[in-house]
Chain A
Amino acid sequence: MASPADRFSRLAALKPTRFVPVSPRPLRAPDEEDAFARLTGAGLARNRFGEHLALRHWHATPEFVAPSRAALELLSRGRDEALSRRTRDALEDPEKWLFLDTETTGLAGGTGTYAFLIGIAWWDAGGLQLEQFFMRDFSEEYSVLEELSLRLAERPVLVTFNGKSFDWPLLENRFTMTRSIPKPRLAAHLDLLHPSRALWKMRLGSVRLVDLERHVLDAPRLGWNRDDDIASAMIPQYYFDYVRGGPAEPLVGVARHNQMDLRGLAALYGKIEAMLNSQSVETEEPNSVDLFGLSRYLQRRGETDRAHQTCARALDAGLPAEFRPRASRELALMAKRRGDHDQAVALWHELVNDPEDGLHACEQLAIYYERRAKNIPRAQEFAKLGIAKINRLRSSLRDSYISSRVVKTEETFLHRLARLTRAHGND
Chain B
Amino acid sequence: MSESLAVQAARQSTSITRVNEVLDAFVQRDVTGEIVTSVRRFPAREAQWAEFPAWLNADLRAAYIAKNINRLYSNQAEAAEIVHAGKNAVIVTPTASGKTLCYNLPVLNSILEDVDTRALYLFPTKALAQDQLAELHDLNQRLGDRVGVFTYDGDTPADARKAIREKCHIALTNPDMLHTGILPHHTRWTRLFENLRYVVIDELHTYRGVFGSHLCNVLRRLRRVAQFYGRDPQFICCSATIANPGELASRLLESDVKVLTANGAPSAEKTFVFYNPPVVNRALGIRRSYVGESSRVAQEFLKRDLQTMVFSNSRLQSEVLLTYLQQANPSQPGKPQAVRGYRGGYLPNERREIERGLREGKIRGVVTTSALELGIDVGSLDTVVMAGYPGTIASTWQRAGRAGRRSGSSCAVLVASSAPLDQFIVRNPDYFFGNTPEHAFIQPDNLEILVNHLKCAAFELPIKPEEKFGGVDVSDLCTRLAEAGFLHRAGENFHWTQEAYPANTISLRSVTSDNFIIIDITGEPQVIGEVDFTSALVFVHEKAIYIHGGQQHHVEHLDFKERKAYVKRVDVDYYTDAVRYTQVRVLEIAEQTRAAETHPEIPAMRAHGDVLVRSQVVGFKKIKFFTNESIGAGELQLPENEMHTTSYWITLERPLLESLPFSISERQSGMFGLLYALSSVATLLLMCDQRDLGTAISERTLSSDEEGEAFNVVRMQDIASARAKEFFEPNLYLFDAYPGGIGFSEPLFRAHDLLIHKTRELISSCACDQGCPSCVGPAGDLTLHAKEAALAILNRLIASKSLAENFA
> Contact residues of A with B, CB < 8 Å?
105-112, 114, 137-139, 172-173, 176-177, 179, 236-237, 240, 243-244
Contacts and interface: CB of A to CB of B under 8 A. Distances in A.
Nearest to A50: B491
A217 B657 CA distance: 89
A138 B185 contact: no
Given A106-B498, A240-B485, A112 B491 contact: no
B187 A108 contact: no
Given A111-B184, A111-B459, A112-B460, A243 B490 contact: yes
A172 B459 CA distance: 16
B495 interface: yes
Contact of A177 (B184, B187, B458): B187
Contact of B190 (A137, A176, A237): A176
Nearest to A137: B490
Given A110-B185, A112-B501, A173-B187, A240 B460 contact: no
Contact of A240 (B187, B488, B501): B488
From B461, B485, B490, B491, residue with most partner A Cβ within 10 Å: B490
Interface in B584-608: none
B458 A112 contact: yes
Given A112-B460, A173-B187, A236 B488 contact: no
A-B pairs with lowest CB-CB distance, top 4: A112-B459, A106-B499, A138-B490, A139-B491
25 contacts: A105-B497, A105-B499, A106-B498, A106-B500, A107-B499, A108-B501, A110-B459, A111-B184, A111-B186, A111-B459, A111-B460, A111-B461, A112-B459, A112-B496, A112-B502, A137-B490, A137-B491, A138-B462, A138-B495, A139-B490, A173-B188, A176-B190, A177-B461, A240-B497, A243-B488
Nearest to B230: A179
A236 B499 contact: yes
Given A138-B462, A176-B190, A243-B488, A110 B497 contact: no
A111 to B, nearest CB: 5
A240 B490 CA distance: 12
Interface string B487-529: 0101101011111111000000000000000000000000000
A114 B458 CA distance: 13
Nearest to A173: B187
B185 A111 contact: yes
A173 B189 CA distance: 10
Contact of A138 (B186, B460, B491): B491
A177 to B, nearest CB: 6
B197 to A, nearest CB: 20
Contacts of B491: 137-139
B158 to A, nearest CB: 11
Contacts of A244: 488, 497
B792 to A, nearest CB: 60
Given A108-B500, A112-B496, 20 more contacts: A105-B497, A106-B501, A110-B184, A110-B459, A110-B501, A111-B184, A111-B186, A111-B187, A112-B501, A138-B488, A139-B493, A173-B187, A176-B187, A176-B190, A177-B187, A177-B461, A240-B488, A240-B498, A243-B488, A244-B488
A285 B499 CA distance: 44
Nearest to B494: A138
A237 B499 CA distance: 8
From A112, A138, A176, A179, residue with most partner B Cβ within 10 Å: A112
Contacts of A172: 187
B210 to A, nearest CB: 25
A236 B496 CA distance: 12
B-side interface size class: 20 to 34
Contacts of A111: 184-187, 459-461
A105 to B, nearest CB: 6
Nearest to B458: A112
From B186, B187, B495, residue with most partner A Cβ within 10 Å: B187
Nearest to A108: B501
Contacts of A112: 184, 458-460, 496, 501-502
A2 to B, nearest CB: 31
B636 to A, nearest CB: 40
Interface in B462-500: 462, 485, 488, 490-491, 493, 495-500
A176 B488 CA distance: 21
B373 to A, nearest CB: 35
B309 to A, nearest CB: 38
A114 B497 CA distance: 9
Interface in B152-186: 184-186
Interface in B419-471: 458-462
Contacts of A138: 462, 488, 490-491, 493, 495
A114 B462 CA distance: 12
Contacts of B185: 109-111
B275 to A, nearest CB: 50
Contacts of A236: 499
A112 B462 CA distance: 8
A344 to B, nearest CB: 35
Interface string B228-267: 1000000000000000000000000000000000000000
B780 to A, nearest CB: 53
B452 to A, nearest CB: 14
Nearest to B459: A112
Nearest to B190: A176
Contact of A108 (B188, B460, B499): B499
A112 B190 CA distance: 16
B235 to A, nearest CB: 23
A112 B499 CA distance: 9
Contacts of B499: 105-108, 236-237
A114 B498 CA distance: 10
A109 B460 CA distance: 11
A179 to B, nearest CB: 8
A107 B496 CA distance: 14
Contacts of B462: 138
A242 to B, nearest CB: 10
Contacts of A106: 498-501
A243 B461 CA distance: 18
B225 to A, nearest CB: 9
Interface string B725-761: 0000000000000000000000000000000000000
Nearest to A106: B499
A363 to B, nearest CB: 32
Given A137-B491, A138-B490, A243 B497 contact: yes
A110 B490 CA distance: 20
A172 B461 CA distance: 15
A106 B496 CA distance: 11
Contacts of B460: 111-112
A395 to B, nearest CB: 29
Contacts of A177: 187, 461
A170 to B, nearest CB: 10
Contacts of A173: 187-188
Nearest to B181: A110
A223 to B, nearest CB: 32
A173 B495 CA distance: 15
A244 B487 CA distance: 10
A179 B227 CA distance: 12
A117 to B, nearest CB: 15
A107 B501 CA distance: 9
Contacts of B228: 179
Interface string B765-800: 000000000000000000000000000000000000
B384 to A, nearest CB: 43
A110 B459 CA distance: 8
Nearest to A104: B499
A243 B186 CA distance: 26
Contacts of B501: 106, 108, 110, 112
A240 B497 CA distance: 6
A363 B190 CA distance: 53
